[in-house]
Amino acid sequence: KKIITSRRSSAVVVPVSAAAKRKRKRPPHPPMSPGVPLLGDLPALLIKGPLALIRDHYTRLGSVFTVRVFHLKLTFLVGPDVARHFYQGLDSEISQDEVSQFTIPTFGPGVAFDVDYATRYEQIRFFGDATKPAKLRTYATLMLGEVESHLARWGQSGTVDLKLELEHLVTLVATRCLFGAAVREKMFSEVGVLVRQLNDGMRLVTTRFPHLPIPAHRRRDAARARLGEIFTDIVRSRIQQQQQQGGGTAATDDMLQCLIDSRYKDGRGTTETEVVGMLVSALFAAQYTSSSAITWTGARLLTHTEHLRAAVEEQRRIVARHGGHDDVSSYDVLQEMDTLHRCVKETLRLHPPTLMLLRHARRSFAVRADDGREYEVPKGHTVASPLLLHNRLPHVYEEPDKFDPDRFAPRRAEDRAGGALSYLSFGGGRHACVGEAFAFMQIKLIWSHLLRNFELELVSPFPRTDWTMVMPGPLGKVMVTYKRRPRMKKN
């Protein structure tokens, strides 16, 4: 079997073939914390919380270790080289299916983990096609209209809950790109509430017991059913409209049209149920990951004034370079905002969208830890990549807990020096996020507009993280005062 050698350390990940197993002595299983009889690490998990538990084990047991809760064994792989098989292994060997079934009540039938891998793979391609640069150019224009008209409602000065405002703005922008203007007007407020209920129904407990009869799950199911009705009407009327106009591809600019027009490799078109499911998934992805990221970006910038000043300065330079105030939010100009880009990227390093990503080991595999020891992760284990820990490794990132966007500047490029899997906020390898460019564009468009038009100050404490959720966002309100800035000069 081919040995995969590492660029930075001695870590190696090797799927264990039957022949190889016969030839040599099998390496031991990863070290496991003893925990307490029957319950394993459950008491420590409840007392310390997941993050502290993982950190402690990493310090004591090293970069490969197993945690037991009741009969469930969760093996953690920490570090770019150690996690290689997790991200680059074949789905037939290390898969998402078994550990992602809990998302089916949220995304619904006909999509994501309700379908086989081959169908899901093609559906992900449809998203990829719908977020290509040519499409993003159109979305940028649509987004800007929403951002300008929403923020025009703010007064000369005032105090707002930035988290609530940005969540609202992200929903506006996402629904506009997904469904088009006419539909957005009619259904915005109801859809916003329903998507929030979907997210609220994805708690840590959901990952093990997705149908536990708790109020949050009941609200999730009702919200998914109602979203299904609303989106089905939208899809039907768009298809009818298209048929009345004599078929062919409609000249509409939204993601809905891309998904309706998508074709599987065998030539079949997408069904109504699939398009509805993909719309729910896209809205969910675009909404929750992005609105957390955008609020964290604000909280980080407003508490690190040197970086805030640098980001505002960059806006001044860009306005001057482009000789106008209103046309600096096009897709191409957003690509010039390197300082802002690094601030968003650094925010996401410190606040990744989830505590850990999970896979199921369909076959045993061998992994070499950072200290050179080799272990065999047995078939059947759940395997975890703890993003938060991974994004703060001191041998990859200098002063890893510090908010320091310049670490991504070309002369330092710490993530590049650390190897392909050293920055994992958008995943990596086979299942890397296809919405990354869309998300960056959305966040940069909104923040660049805020920076050009408002002076902002955080007046509540820096938010804590809500670790009870699968996608943990900022907890509580994030209060800011704002004051309109004079228009930035053309030169």
Nearer to ligand HEM, 91 or 221 (CB): 91
Site for ligand HEM in 126-145 (CB under 6 A): 127, 131
Give the Cα separation of 35 and 52 in Å (integer): 15
Distances 225 to 151, 172, 187, 233, 356 between C-alpha atoms, Å: 32, 21, 15, 13, 29
- The residue sitting closest to ligand HEM, measured at its beta carbon, is 435
Give the Cα separation of 273 and 289 in Å (integer): 24
290 in contact with ligand HEM (CB under 6 A): yes
291 in contact with ligand HEM (CB under 6 A): no
Stretch near ligand HEM under the rule CB under 6 A, chosen from 214-222, 393-401, 429-437, 475-483? 429-437
What's the Rg (C-alpha) of the chain?
Answer: 23
One of 439, 451, 478, 488 touching ligand HEM (CB under 6 A): 439
Nearer to ligand HEM, 365 or 438 (CB): 438
Could you tell me which of 329, 348, 326, 325 has the C-alpha nearest to residue 337? 329
Whether residue 433 is annotated as binding a ligand: the answer is: yes
Site for ligand HEM in 81-100 (CB under 6 A): 96
Distances 420 to 15, 174, 286, 403, 435 between C-alpha atoms, Å: 20, 30, 25, 21, 18
Nearer to ligand HEM, 122 or 221 (CB): 122
433 in contact with ligand HEM (CB under 6 A): yes
Cβ distance 438 to 136 under 8 Å?
Answer: yes
Long-range contacts of 101-104 (CB under 8 A, 24+ apart): 101/210, 102/202, 102/206, 102/207, 102/208, 102/210, 103/202, 104/210
Give the Cα separation of 223 and 193 in Å (integer): 9
Site string for ligand HEM, 399-428 (x = CB under 6 A): --------------------------xxx-
Nearer to ligand HEM, 375 or 423 (CB): 423
Q: What values do phi and psi take at 467, rounded to 5?
A: -75, 0
Nearer to ligand HEM, 95 or 273 (CB): 95
Nearer to ligand HEM, 130 or 377 (CB): 130
Distances 454 to 164, 171, 444 between C-alpha atoms, Å: 17, 21, 15
124 in contact with ligand HEM (CB under 6 A): yes
One of 438, 446, 473, 474 touching ligand HEM (CB under 6 A): 438
Which segments are annotated as binding site for heme? 433
Q: What is the contact surface with ligand HEM in residues (CB under 6 A)?
A: 96, 124, 127, 131, 282, 285-286, 289-290, 293, 348, 353, 357, 425-427, 431, 433-435, 438-439
